[in-house]
Amino acid sequence: MDATSVRVRAPRDVSQRVAFLSTVENIEFQPGDGAAKIIVNSRTGTIVVGQNVRLRPAAITHGGMTVSIKEDFNVEQPNPFGGGEAVVVPDAEINVEEEEGRMFHFKPGVTLDDLVRAVNGVGAAPSDLMAILQALKQAGAIDGQLIVI
């Protein structure tokens, strides 16, 4: 029904209800991911970024700041005798420089959290980050909802 509620229909036959409840009680499930949202309060300079926000490839320039983000994928192998499966692990590399007239460059799969950390690393003001977020949303480079309050 919503993020915290599930609706089920019990059998009409009273003799089947105990078995039904036993089955429902033992169902295992994984909750869905939360919505990909960015909330920006332009009055206070507060920016809240949900964990599921992702960036699409894009390039943007803003003032004298340069952020380049590159994501590689590494494969971690399990112990040969311990069992398990190989797992693909993303490895993001972020470089931040402050020079005049450069551009931001984003590769696929990079989270907005990575961008925020990089921009904060050079001491950018919240208004700079707000301008960058709005431009990225207008360019269609943010997979998520941008809400400015």
Instruction: Render pLDDT for 12-29 as a digit per residue (tens, 0 to 9).
Output: 998 999 999 999 888 887
Identify the pLDDT of residue 141: 79
Mean pLDDT of 109-131: 72
Q: 60, exposed or middle or buried, with CB in 10 Å at 0-12, 13-18, 19+? A: middle
Identify the pLDDT of residue 19: 92
Which DSSP state fits 87? Answer: E
Q: What letter represents residue 82's amino acid? A: G
Mean pLDDT of 60-67: 64
User: 134 or 51: whose pLDDT is higher?
Assistant: 134
Which DSSP state fits 3? Answer: S
**Nearest-angstrom CA–CA distance, 123 and 104:** 16
Answer yes or no: is pLDDT of 102 > 50: no
